[in-house]
Amino acid sequence: MNASTLIALAEPNRLKIVELLKGQPRTVNEIALLLELRQPQASKHLRALSDAGLVNVEPRAQQRIYSLNPEPFLQLEDWSRSFHSYWNQRFDNLDDHLTKG
Amino acid sequence: MPDYQPLTIKRTFNASRQAVWDAWTVPEQFKQWYMPAPYSVGEVEFDVRPGGQLRVETVSPDGAIQPVVGEFKVVEAPEKLVTTNSPLDAEGNKLFEVQHSFVLTEVDGLTTIDLTSEVVWAGDQAAPYLVGMEPGLLQALDQLAALVS
């Protein structure tokens, strides 16, 4: 699990941006407007999300389109599931026991 | 008590349902696999019938023994087993109580265990033992997102 993912998410406006991008890719102007942020502020947050690998940026004409990169969110899901590993280890042991007969 | 989430785990074994049942209910077999290394199992007492008591000593690498006590709630060999488990602290008080429900199904010689584990009761010292059953991280993120939007 990458700490930079959690650090990037641990800011209310950045979390809101991630929520917005869950629905569809958006431009910085749309994001600033929807979240009632000044554009430089929105750009700063988007840069932080992009540096942490949470969003992708694609230039289109004069605009930059931001979208979510699914990879770190899948890692987050795996990490959360890993807390079940106690029973998984136990079941691994049971599997060995049953195989030995 | 925090809002602990039931844990559900499914796993399939290359063994008959009876073999899996025996691994779970015969102390000599149970001892061999129940605790993930580096922990091990000491004495095991099972009274395998509805209302029967159970007691398992879990042994940590430094030799410290933590007893777990509980009860067999449902015993329907070889398909359903419901037990409660409570680890005891040094004074013999229950830290928490978890109910495990195991349903065994056998298809073509393969046996699947469906485990549902629920926290029945948790004392003040229980939280570190119940990692993974606390409200899930993703749910927490959803709740956080709902809170800030």
Mean pLDDT for B126-143 is: 55
Asked if the Cβ–Cβ distance from B34 to A95 is below 8 Å, we say: no
Residue in chain A lying closest to B16 (CA): A98
Distance from CA of B131 to the nearest CA of A (A): 7
Gap between the Cα atoms of A44 and B43, Å rounded? 60
ipTM at complex level: 0.72
Report CA-CA distances (Å) from B50 to A66, A97, B70, B73, B114.
59, 26, 12, 5, 20
Which one has a higher pLDDT value, B62 or B125? B62
Phi, psi (degrees; rounded to nearest 5) at B77: -65, 140
Residues A32-68: tens digit of each pLDDT: 999 999 999 999 999 999 999 999 999 988 889 999 9
Residue in chain A lying closest to B21 (CA): A98
Among partner residues A12, A92, A95, which is closest to B148 by beta-carbon distance? A12
Nearest Cα neighbor of B101 from B114, B110, B111, B112 is B114
Per DSSP, helices labelled H in B26-79 are 27-33
Task: Identify how many contiguous H helices and E strands chain A contains and give both numbers.
Answer: 6, 3
Asked if the Cβ–Cβ distance from A98 to B14 is below 8 Å, we say: yes
pLDDT of residue B133: 63
Among partner residues B9, B14, B138, which is closest to A80 by beta-carbon distance? B138
Residue in chain A lying closest to B137 (CA): A80
Residue B78: is the preceding peptide bond cis (ω within 30°)?
yes
Which residues does chain A have within 8 Å of residue B132's beta carbon, measured at their own beta carbons? 83-84, 86
Mean pLDDT for B77-85 is: 96
Domains identified in chain B and CATH numbers: 7-148 (3.30.530.20)
pLDDT of residue B103: 96
- B42-51 burial, b at 16+ Cβ within 10 Å, e below that, comes to eebebebeee
pLDDT of residue B138 exceeding 50: no
pLDDT of residue A27 exceeding 70: yes
Inform me whether the C-beta atom of residue B6 falls under 8 Å from chain A C-beta atoms: no
Q: Are B11 and B112 in contact (CB under 8 A)?
A: yes
Residues A59-96: tens digit of each pLDDT: 988 889 999 998 898 888 777 766 666 777 888 899 99
Gap between the Cα atoms of A20 and B127, Å rounded? 34
Gap between the Cα atoms of B123 and B104, Å rounded? 31
Q: Identify residue B33 by its one-letter amino acid code.
A: W
pLDDT of residue B143 exceeding 50: no
pTM of this structure: 0.62
